[in-house]
Amino acid sequence: MSGNNDLRFIVNPGGVLTGRLRVPGDKSISHRSIMLGSLAEGVTEVSGFLEGEDSLATLSAFRAMGVQIEGPDAGRVQIRGVGLRGLKAPVDDLYLGNSGTSMRLMSGLLAGQAFATTLTGDASLSGRPMKRVVEPLTSMGAAIDTTATGTAPLRVQGGSRLSGIHYAMPVASAQVKSSLLLAGLYASGKTCVSEPAPTRDHTERMLTGMGYSLQREDNRVCLEGGGALRGIAIDIPADISSAAFFLVGASVAPGSELLLEHVGMNPTRTGIIDILQRMGADITVLNARDVGGEPVADLRVKSTQLHGIDIPPELVPLAIDEFPVIFVAAACAQGRTVLTGAEELRVKESDRIQVMADGLRTLGVDARPTADGMVIEGGAIGAGCVDSHGDHRIAMAFSMAALRADGDIEITDCANVNTSFPGFVEQAGRMGLAIRTR
């Protein structure tokens, strides 16, 4: 976590977003490039690495376990892999800041090591549920201790003999799936994970790219333990979760037109585009191509009047990180938008359903939270001061709301924006958002 918990955004009303922009690299892929590059044999060369606090926490953790990592330098990182059995016991606990991805994936990866490790995080991460990953790992033979409430710190005991399992996830979660697959690298026999709905598949794509055999059929992915990974070159695309703020901002601010370059278009991540287009957004996909096993494209977005929709449940897991800014789009739309089936939002960096509803209502929007979603009546957005609760995506979402507000919007507790989008204020300002910090 950044040390300045009092950082505030002040965003003046109005503004037009225009120009060309490449947002920072994909956070999910950045994490995995460090983890799998460290476990590979040989050198992994990474470009486009996200130099945000979450990704840097993962990088620091693997340095602490003896991996030689050069960079990051302008998004370039070189990882000298140590192989699946080459990690060394860290001297101290591994502090992962605000990164739930780091903690959940590393719990699986570390479950098969010969040494013990303790994973810690900031106050927000220490309140997030970990039983969902610890329980299936325990059934594989892992020994992991949590607090009495199932939260961090996680104490991963060394020397466990892991056995493959066939696990049907009760809730769609790429983090749980990836954690079990990483543990499966060290397990005897086959590890299979079935998911109730599609989730991001960056782990599977990168494992395949590094030469590890996977079997995929319908909603299930399997691997056998005991293989090896080889170092490769990884070009990380721009993060669609970060691009989402500008997709919404340019859609709702009259006269706007943006070209977002080199955006990751993994089909397990493009729910934001599908939802916005259903709301009437003018988004055009240009120059679609494949980069290192991941689909990439440029996105042109022009302003238009959005309309409310009932968000299809099958799109929820494909846009789970983008709902804070989707709620802002709904507030600017004509008519009612209804979200259901998104209870996962309540256990993110904040309770994103309640925090967004509270903030929208502060700004005069009719937003009614439900157990698993929200009902939003589009209309005017007023001025006000909203609390982001230290959640980076909440802070950036409300920044875009100012494009349609009738007065200044002040957003508190914004330091954690650096976990996923370093330079957000500067880049947004260059595109036309009247934003400053205090």
Among all residues, which ones are annotated catalytic?
321
Q: Cis ω on the peptide bond leading into residue 196 (within 30° of 0)?
A: no
Whole-angstrom Cα distance, residue 239 to residue 50? 9
Listing DSSP states for 259-280 in one string gives EEEEEE--TTTTHHHHHHHHTT
Listing DSSP states for 226-259 in one string gives S---B--EEEPPBPHHHHHHHHHHHHHSTT-EEE
CA torsion 55-60-65-67 (nearest 10°) is 80
Cβ neighbours, 10 Å, residue 73 = 10
Backbone φ, ψ for residue 163 (5° rounding): -125, 140
Whole-angstrom Cα distance, residue 182 to residue 140? 12
Exposure on the CB side of residue 369, measured as CA atoms within 13 A:
17
Whole-angstrom Cα distance, residue 268 to residue 201? 7
Question: Could you give the residue ranges of the DSSP H alpha helices within 122-223?
Answer: 131-139, 174-184, 202-209
The answer to whether 349 and 360 have CB atoms below 8 angstroms apart is: no
Whole-angstrom Cα distance, residue 87 to residue 105? 16
> SS3 helix, strand, coil % of the chain, rounded to 5?
35, 25, 40
* Strands 117-120 and 94-95, bridge-based pairing: parallel
Whole-angstrom Cα distance, residue 364 to residue 338? 18
Secondary structure of residue 218 in the 3-state scheme:
coil
Whole-angstrom Cα distance, residue 428 to residue 402? 12
Single out the residue of 287, 334, 342 nearest to residue 314, CA to CA.
342
